[in-house]
Structure 1
Amino acid sequence: MRKYCKAYLLKDLRRFAGWKEPQELEGEALTDESVVYIWDDFTVVRSPVVPEKGVIWDQVTQAWREFCQDELHFEIPQDLRSEAAHTTQAP
């Protein structure tokens, strides 16, 4: 179960070298100024309220995790880390 997400402008995520958005997305077109959310499992969605709909990115690789941590400074708050560790560990 996801516990934490953080909002970013899409233009910041588009800096990732391997970034590709789905061809078909419901709702408004995505622009650089669109606000999207990175979850503690490193997936990206349009809305934190209904995360199962509007998935923009689910290609979680080591390079993606490093980009999120190093370039976007994505970090799970200390008080949530022990809970989130179970969902972010690779099988």
Structure 2
Amino acid sequence: MRKYCKAYHLEDLRRYPRWQEHPVDTNTSALTDETIVYLWDDFTVVESPVLQQGNLFDTVTPEWKTFCTETLNFAIPEDLQYAYQVE
């Protein structure tokens, strides 16, 4: 279950060498580098954190995870780590 996401400009994620967006079927305008998108804790990317739409990017590989953590500095904040503890 997804618990945490962080907003990024699409241009930041597009720096990933193997970035390939899935076609987005929405009534919104085309995605630009300035579009805000959301990176989830499962390393998938969506346009909206609340609307149930398809993933913009879901090719989760070790290289993608490394890019997210090292280049984008993506991490679950310490004050939310409790939500990931197994009981």
TM bracket, shorter-chain basis: 0.7 to 0.9
The percent of aligned pairs where both chains have the same amino acid is 53
1:11-67 Cα offsets, whole Å, 9 max, x none, are: 0000000001123432321000000000000000000112x3041001110000000
Bigger radius of gyration among the two: 2
Code of the residue aligned with 2:11 in structure 1: it is K
TM-score (structure 2 length as normaliser): 0.86
Q: Alignment partner of 1:65: what SS?
A: helix
Counting only pairs closer than 5 Å after superposition, residues 1-91 of structure 1 correspond to structure 2 as 1-26=1-26, 27-50=28-51, 52-84=52-84
List gaps (5 residues or longer) in structure 2. none
Gapped runs of 5+ residues in structure 1?
Answer: 87-91
CA RMSD of aligned residues (A): 1.7
Q: 1:3–1:80: 8 Å Cα contact kept in structure 2?
A: no
Partner Cα separation in structure 2 for residue 23 and residue 3 of structure 1: 25
CA distance in 2, matches of 1:43, 1:4: 11
User: Kindly tell me: are residues 78 and 56 of structure 1, through their superposed partners in 2, closer, same or farther at Cα, counting changes over 3 Å?
Assistant: same
Relative to structure 1, is the Cα distance of residues 3 and 24 closer, same or farther in structure 2, using a 3 angstrom cutoff?
Answer: closer
Q: Using a 3 Å threshold, how does the CA distance of structure 1 residues 73 and 85 change in structure 2: closer, same or farther?
A: farther
**Residue type of the alignment partner of 1:43:** T
**1:56 match: secondary structure:** coil
